[in-house]
Structure 1
Amino acid sequence: MSLSRRAFLSGCAAMPFCVPLARFAVAETTIGNGTLTTLSDGHLTLPGSFIFEPMPQDDLAPLLSQAGISKTTLTPDCNVSLYRDGTNTVLFDVGAGPDFQPSAGKLLDALGKVDVAPEDVTHVVFTHGHPDHIWGLLDEFDDPLFYDATYMIGRAEWDYWMNPETVNTIGEARASMAVGAKRRLEAIEDAVEFFNGGDEVLPGIQAVSTPGHTPGHMSFEVRQGSEAALVIGDAIGNHHVAFMRPEWPSGSDQDSDLGAKTRAALFDRIVADDLKIAGFHLPKGGIGHVERNDSEFRFVPEAS
């Protein structure tokens, strides 16, 4: 009997020998009758300058010392959010896949550990088109991995990555990101649905425009009644300087000034509405809440 590609991939997702990970379902919270779970896609290894270069260096040093963060090398976690409400099984982003960094691309294994197969995913909703969020879109045959899902992305983000001029204007260091994003988005071009900030993309899930990290970056408020959480993608990209000095520019943002303004406004909304957050690069699974101390903030994870 022949083994189909789909059957093989579905089986591999549940097999412990595919890629060993110590922790898969990193954090979880309930929202009404729904469940928001973060799954580990592994981690990245980045030079500190990728984030810290545009910051005031004399003021930065004591903050990093206080937070216990290296200035030279960063290894941020990658947390993919999975929301299940009994009707829909929604992935926010799809991780890095096998072609970005060897320490990332573990989402398929993590899904298997929570008994979710690729065909169980009803919707894939993208925050933005950077490699660690979208390069896991395709399988080894260059077909969409989540083959029964509806794909959804903000119109501005789609237009940016699909524009053939983006590779020429994004800068040499990010040119491969543009090529990789366009290739993957082209694979779902005939099946993707678009939305704008403020739209209800699915029942109980509202898109929140949070540009700066990329031109069309989106966050998502997941709400049932009085219970809600904000899936923030990379709008708040780390648990240290982004919280301690949200107004500082970050080198990880494509528009650092706009990214800082977005970050400040997002913190105000999170605190004012007492929202839980799920952050892609925040520690301990990335689900937690935010505490304000004057002009600074602190991430308090739910996971111990």
Structure 2
Amino acid sequence: MTDSLKLTRRAFAKGMAAFGAAGAISPVLPLPAFARETLTLGEATVETLSDGHLVLPIDFQYGDAPKQELETLLKAHGLPTATSEPDCNLTLFRDGERTVLFDAGSGSRFMSSAGKAMDAFDEIGLDPSEVTHVVFTHAHPDHIWGILDDFDDVVFPDAELMISSAEWDYWWDPATVDTLPEARKPFAVGAKRSLEAIEDRVTRFKPGDEILPGVLALDTNGHTPGHISFEIAQGGDSVLVLGDAITHAFISFEHPQWPNGADHDAEQGIAMRKLLLDKLALEKTRIIGFHLPFPGFGRVAKSGTAYRYVADTQ
């Protein structure tokens, strides 16, 4: 078959979607910016790709926070008090030999507002087959469901897939689903489904491992039992890929002691946030937050007895 006649399943699905919309007359709108290169580490580059955003009831995450204080904080920052729409930022690291994607996004089965990673790939001219490694911070839907396409094929055909042993064991356990509240049971079902599909391609690691040259796995459990953040260090500079260890640009920083309902272990989640914020503020470490405002790069600053997120403006 000639190259001109080859048709991937992804291209087919996109083509059919475009065909279905062709009958409608609509204005030509500018394409959204899904990707933006923001950091150079030595000879390597780090950029974030937008997978869209989530739409969540504020009570889903902060139902146990002091209601009046929560509303006052959100209003002070011009945010709605009933819903939250956190961005979803995937991290792409390229060092000339490896193209490493941190988390795979939501795919098409979670929320219609998310699962936009392939649009970002198209925007930067990167084919999924060029990704050499996909590294997971954890196995919540917005981080791992995007590993499979609509045909249940792995989106990144040539990539090595990497996840912590503790995270794998937790979601692989058939008893896990019975320990979760009803609203989160689909998380376990979807995680198990994703892990079963990639079982023969996964490399598991432990905290403290240098999983790739210049990429160190750090234990930040609490949000999930095997949650990992990653330090990328190249050329004397570094950045910390946080995953969901810190999730909200205001609440997590100003009130890290408030429990996050999305955390598997609320007390451990609080302890980990405080520990990270102290360390990051002291060391002035650059961070990438999966749910911080796109593109997600910034630093932590001390602010009285609490902290402040300082977005990177470069």
TM beyond 0.5: yes
**1:290 aligns to what?**
300
Q: CA deviation at 1:293?
A: 1.2
**TM-score, structure 1 as length reference:** 0.93
Q: CA deviation at 1:37?
A: 0.5
Instruction: Give me the whole-angstrom Cα distance separating, in 1, the residues matched to 2:100 and 2:159.
Output: 9
Which amino acid in structure 1 is aligned with residue 139 of structure 2? G
CA RMSD of aligned residues (A): 2.1
CA distance change for structure 1 residues 39 and 7 in 2, over 3 Å: closer, same or farther? closer
Deviation per residue, 1:218-239 (Å, 9 max, x gap): 1000011431100001110110
Q: How does 1:87-236 map to 2 (within 5 A)?
A: 87-236=97-246
Deviation per residue, 1:167-221 (Å, 9 max, x gap): 1112211100100110011111111001111110100000011111111111000
CA distance change for structure 1 residues 203 and 103 in 2, over 3 Å: closer, same or farther? same
Q: CA deviation at 1:64?
A: 1.8
Contact 1:32 1:227 in 2 (8 A): yes
Contact 1:26 1:284 in 2 (8 A): no
CA distance change for structure 1 residues 110 and 10 in 2, over 3 Å: closer, same or farther? farther
2:6 counterpart of 1:3:
yes
SS at match of 1:190: helix
Q: CA deviation at 1:68?
A: 2.0
Larger radius of gyration: 2
SS at match of 2:200: coil
2:58 counterpart of 1:48:
yes
2:76 counterpart of 1:66:
yes
Deviation per residue, 1:78-128 (Å, 9 max, x gap): 111101111110000000001111111010110121121011000000001
Q: CA deviation at 1:27?
A: 5.1
Candidates 32, 49, 66, aligned match of 1:22: 32
Q: CA deviation at 1:303?
A: 4.1
Aligned residues: 300
**TM-score, structure 2 as length reference:** 0.90
Q: Percent identity?
A: 49
**2:277 aligns to what?**
267
**2:262 aligns to what?**
252
Instruction: Give me the whole-angstrom Cα distance separating, in 2, the residues matched to 1:49 and 1:26.
Output: 32
Instruction: Give me the whole-angstrom Cα distance separating, in 2, the residues matched to 1:36 and 1:182.
Output: 30
